[in-house]
Structure 1
C-alpha cells in the first residue's frame, strides 16, 4: 500500500493518541471527517494499522518483573524451531518473541510476577525438552525509554 503525506500524518497522530476521535483526527491532519475515516479504514483493511491498545504501569498492577531471555537451540532444523516456537507461543508471560540472527536464535520479553517469575518461565521451557542448548536471562532494573513513538516523517 502506498502511503501519502496525509496518511503518515494520520498514523503519527494515532500513534500519539489511539483514542482520538475521528473529528479531532481529521481536524489535526487538515481533512473533513468522512475522508479521514475512509483513509483510516483503508489502512486498517490493508494491515498498516493492526490494532489499538491500552498501556499499563506494571508497578501499579502488582509485583511484576520484566526480563529478556536469549535462547540458543541445539540445532537449526526448521521442524525443531517450529516446535520450540509453538510451545513458547503458548506461554502467557512471554509478551514478545523474536527470531534473531547473531550469537543466539531467539529473544523473548517475559513479564511475570516477582523475580522468580521469569526464571520459572525459563525453567518451564528448559524442562519441556524443546531443544534448548543454552539461555541467558536479563532482569530489567530500569527503563529510561518506554514506548517511544516511531519517528514518522510526514
Structure 2
C-alpha cells in the first residue's frame, strides 16, 4: 500500500461494505460501520479523492444477456523496450472487447481477457491487433468453456487484515 495513504480500520470497513453493497445510502453505510452520516460521507469522499474508490457500477449477468465468448490470450512482443510495450498497451486499449490487460512475467508479455459475440468476432479483434503493427511476435488463445465462479470483491481482510490496520 502506498505510504502516503493513511487508511484506518473504519476506512477498510467502509471499503468492505461498499464492495458488497455499493448502492446503499450513506445513512445505511454509516449505521453499518458505526459512524454518523456526516463523517461517513466525508470518509467516502476522501477515499474517492485519493483514488482508492475508483467508481461505482453494476455487475452484469452476461449469460442472461445472450451468448458471448470469453477468450484469454497470451501475447509475446517482439521487442521488449519500454516504448514498444507501451505502444502495444495503447493499441490494445482501443479495443472495447479487450476487458483486461496484464503485463506479466514468464513465457509471454501480456495476458488479455477478451469478450466477443463469437469466434469470428474474436478473429476480427485479433486480426485488427495484428494488422495494427503493435509489435506482436506471437499469441496463444484459450476459449473459456464455463465460469464456475467469478468474484468482484477484493479480500480486504486477508490482504489488509486487522493486524495491519
TM-score range, shorter chain: over 0.9
Q: Which moved more, 1:58-67 or 1:18-27?
A: 58-67
CA distance in 2, matches of 1:54, 1:115: 27
Please point out which of 114, 117, 122 is paired with 1:110. Answer: 114
Residue 4 (str. 1) matches residue 11 (str. 2): no
The runs of 5 or more residues in structure 2 that have no matched partner are none
Residue 100 (str. 1) matches residue 107 (str. 2): no
Which SS does the other structure have where 1:6 is aligned? helix
Q: Which residue of 2 aligns with 1:144?
A: 148
1:126 CA drift (Å)? 1.6
TM-score of the superposition, structure 1-length normalised? 0.94
TM-score of the superposition, structure 2-length normalised? 0.88
CA RMSD of aligned residues (A): 1.3
Query: What do residues 29-80 of structure 1 show as CA deviations (whole Å, max 9, x unaligned)?
Result: 0111111001100111111111111111112222211111100011112222
Matched-pair contact (CA < 8 Å) for 1:66–1:118: no
Q: Please identify runs of 4+ aligned residues in structure 1 that moved more than 4 A.
A: none
CA distance in 2, matches of 1:17, 1:121: 35
Please point out which of 17, 20, 29 is paired with 1:25. Answer: 29
